[in-house]
């Protein structure tokens, strides 16, 4: 009651409209825009205007920071470096490639013969060369996770997708169940672990049904159902549920590595076919979309083309009364112009009604503190931020905020409390330096 951790809350999923329709491939857009930005890191273009590129060719890198590598997702001609709207909410320089519709693959993309004899180091090297990043939303380069010195007991595959409206992981898993298990197995070998745990939501029982037939071939895999609450997909929550252990910094402290399910499927292709990260699933959903559905698209595709494939926006949509959200509705970002491109962390674009109306002041009900999964007191952090009291922000652990959005969600007075806490966190970080 007093020192107990919040257990998360149930939020209506609103996934059904999109779940009914199977995922579609949309692999040959006319143009793609490969952003020269990944996880707040600027990249250097490795190709110049006029070059012919093949699918899988290296086009941008940053070797200083975590060796980020980005590859061409279609074959064709580089026609320019142009600004494009990126899911970070900014316009970002991007490499524009015009499709020649020949689908030429780079020579390195071929079947790997000796898959079963690959060592741990070779698997991690493949991860690094394929430029695999977390497709769940944080976009952390995966090979860094596996270069840990800690003893890893298990690899956890996060198939939870706890935010409302999101269905791309669900679709991707049910389409490629065996690839998921294979990719997870390669992850397990890359970590020298003994088992794989696939964590999914009880709500998404179809995931269990899809994986069940293959489990006899993969005896080291176990399925772990998780309650249908938010934020069940948060890394720390899953680790605590699965291992009953907790950690402060990285999951490796608890002897596990957590990876998103789409990452595992991508890694399976990277190991068996040497295909780098060039495509990802995206859901287009929300009340503003005529026929919501999910797509498997090359990175750099324009979202507006996908929206058109969904039948466009609903009739008579007044854009100024709708939000165009990059990412999930709990943690995503409102994009002002619907000219977004798909990048590695973009799992969904949601068009839904913007909030309107006037609401009363904070009444001090304390619901925000009750639901906080890291047991902070958002109201006090907000006050401390408004007074610019850095010491108090430190005492209130403002840096522990995971920006899950639950405090704003639950607030009966519709206060932007998550934003205030996030600002407090920034102030503490700057002030502490």
Partner 1 sequence: MARFAGGKAPFVRASEEKDYGTKVIMRDVMIALLPVILFSWYKNGIQVYIDGNIGLLEMFYPLFFILIGGFLSVLMEGIFYFVTDKENRTIKSVMQKLSLSFPAIPGLILALLLPLYTPIWVLIFAAFIATIIGKMIFGGFGHNVFNPALLGYAVVGFTLMGVINNAGGLFNASEAVVDAYAGATPLGKLASSGQINYDTLVAPYGSLWDFFIGTIPGALGETSALAILFGGLYLVIRKVIKWYTPVIYVGTIFVLSWIIGAVTGDAGLWFPAYSILSGGVMFAAVFMITEPVTTPTNVLGKVFFALFLGVFTVLFRFVGSLPEGVGTSLIFMNIFTLPIDKFTAVIRTKRFKKPGGLYLGILTGLLVILAVYTLVKAGAMYTVYIPFLGWVI
Cβ neighbors of 345 (< 8 A, separation 6 or more) are 39, 87, 133, 134, 135, 137, 138, 139, 327
Residue 204 CB, shortest distance to partner 1, in Å, is: 19
Nearer to partner 1 by C-beta: 108 or 397? Answer: 397
Residue (of 290, 354, 291, 305) closest to 325 by Cα position? 354
Nearer to partner 1 by C-beta: 115 or 337? Answer: 337
Nearer to partner 1 by C-beta: 58 or 392? Answer: 392
CB atoms within 10 A of CB 20: 10
Q: Is the C-alpha dihedral spanning 269, 40, 328, 92 positive or negative?
A: negative
Residue 316 CB, shortest distance to partner 1, in Å, is: 13
CA distance 57 to 77: 12
Residue 240 CB, shortest distance to partner 1, in Å, is: 18
Residue 213 CB, shortest distance to partner 1, in Å, is: 35
Residue 398 CB, shortest distance to partner 1, in Å, is: 9
Q: How many CA atoms lie within 13 A of 41 on its CB side?
A: 20
Binding-site ranges for partner 1 (CB under 8 A): 1-3, 11, 164, 304, 319-325, 329-339, 350-352, 354-355, 357-366, 369-370, 375-377, 379-380, 383, 392, 395-397, 400, 403, 405-406, 408-414, 416, 418-419
Residue 112 CB, shortest distance to partner 1, in Å, is: 41
Query: What residues pair up with 85 in beta bridges, in sequence order?
Result: 91, 340
CA distance 89 to 60: 21
Residue (of 136, 138, 175, 133) closest to 157 by Cα position? 136
Residue 354 CB, shortest distance to partner 1, in Å, is: 4
Nearer to partner 1 by C-beta: 239 or 325? Answer: 325
Residue (of 183, 55, 193) closest to 115 by Cα position? 183
Whether 354 and 321 have beta carbons less than 8 Å apart is answered as yes
DSSP element (H, E) containing 88: none
Angle between helices 120-129 and 177-190 (to 10 degrees): 120
CA distance 325 to 334: 5
Whether 380 and 364 have beta carbons less than 8 Å apart is answered as no
Nearer to partner 1 by C-beta: 3 or 116? Answer: 3
Angle at 276 between CA 271 and CA 278, to 5 degrees: 140
Residue (of 235, 239, 155, 231) closest to 192 by Cα position? 155
Nearer to partner 1 by C-beta: 146 or 324? Answer: 324
Cβ neighbors of 332 (< 8 A, separation 6 or more) are 87, 325, 326, 348, 350
Nearer to partner 1 by C-beta: 178 or 419? Answer: 419
Residue 414 CB, shortest distance to partner 1, in Å, is: 4
Nearer to partner 1 by C-beta: 140 or 409? Answer: 409
Q: Which residue has the tokens 């060039």?
A: 278
Residue 209 CB, shortest distance to partner 1, in Å, is: 28
Nearer to partner 1 by C-beta: 300 or 378? Answer: 378
Nearer to partner 1 by C-beta: 26 or 409? Answer: 409
Residue 287 CB, shortest distance to partner 1, in Å, is: 11
H-state helical runs in 153-282:
168-175, 177-190, 205-211, 235-243, 261-272
Residue 286 CB, shortest distance to partner 1, in Å, is: 9
């Amino acid at each position: 009651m007093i020192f107990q951790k919040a257990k998360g809350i149930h939020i209506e999923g609103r996934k059904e409209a999109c779940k009914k329709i199977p995922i579609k491939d949309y692999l040959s857009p006319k143009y793609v825009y490969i952003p020269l930005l990944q996880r707040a890191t600027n990249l250097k273009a490795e190709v110049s205007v006029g070059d012919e590129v093949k699918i899988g060719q290296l086009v941008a890198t940053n070797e200083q920071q975590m060796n980020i590598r980005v590859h061409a997702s279609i074959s064709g001609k580089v026609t320019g470096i142009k600004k494009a709207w990126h899911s970070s909410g900014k316009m970002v320089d991007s490499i524009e490639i015009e499709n020649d519709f020949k689908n030429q693959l780079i020579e390195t993309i071929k079947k790997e013969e000796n898959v079963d004899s690959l060592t741990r180091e070779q698997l991690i090297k493949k991860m690094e060369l394929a430029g695999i990043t977390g497709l769940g939303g944080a976009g952390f380069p995966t090979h860094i996770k596996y270069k840990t010195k800690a003893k890893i007991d298990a690899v956890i595959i996060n198939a939870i997708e706890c935010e409302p409206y999101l269905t791309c992981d669900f679709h991707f898993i049910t389409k490629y169940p065996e690839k998921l298990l294979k990719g997870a197995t390669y992850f397990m070998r890359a970590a020298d672990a003994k088992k794989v745990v696939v964590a999914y939501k009880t709500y998404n029982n179809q995931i269990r049904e899809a994986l069940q037939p293959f489990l006899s071939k993969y005896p080291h895999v176990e399925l772990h159902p998780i309650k249908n609450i938010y934020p069940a997909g948060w890394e720390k929550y899953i680790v605590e549920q699965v291992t009953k252990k907790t950690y402060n910094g990285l999951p490796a402290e608890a002897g596990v590595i957590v990876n998103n399910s789409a990452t595992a499927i991508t890694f399976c292709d990277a190991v068996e076919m040497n295909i780098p990260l060039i495509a990802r699933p995206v859901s287009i959903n929300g009340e503003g979309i005529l026929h919501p559905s999910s797509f498997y698209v090359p990175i750099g595709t324009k979202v507006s083309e996908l929206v058109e494939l969904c039948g466009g926006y609903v009739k008579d949509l007044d854009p100024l009364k709708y939000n165009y959200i990059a990412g999930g509705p709990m943690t995503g970002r409102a994009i002002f112009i619907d000219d977004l491109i798909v990048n590695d962390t973009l799992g969904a674009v949601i068009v839904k009604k913007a909030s309107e109306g006037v609401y009363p002041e904070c009444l001090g009900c304390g619901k925000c503190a009750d639901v906080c999964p890291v047991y902070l007191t958002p109201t006090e952090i907000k006050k401390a931020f408004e007074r610019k009291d850095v010491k108090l922000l430190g005492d209130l652990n403002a840096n522990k905020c995971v920006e899950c959005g639950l405090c704003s969600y639950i607030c009966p007075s519709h206060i932007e409390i998550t934003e205030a806490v996030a600002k407090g966190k920034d102030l503490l970080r700057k002030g502490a330096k």
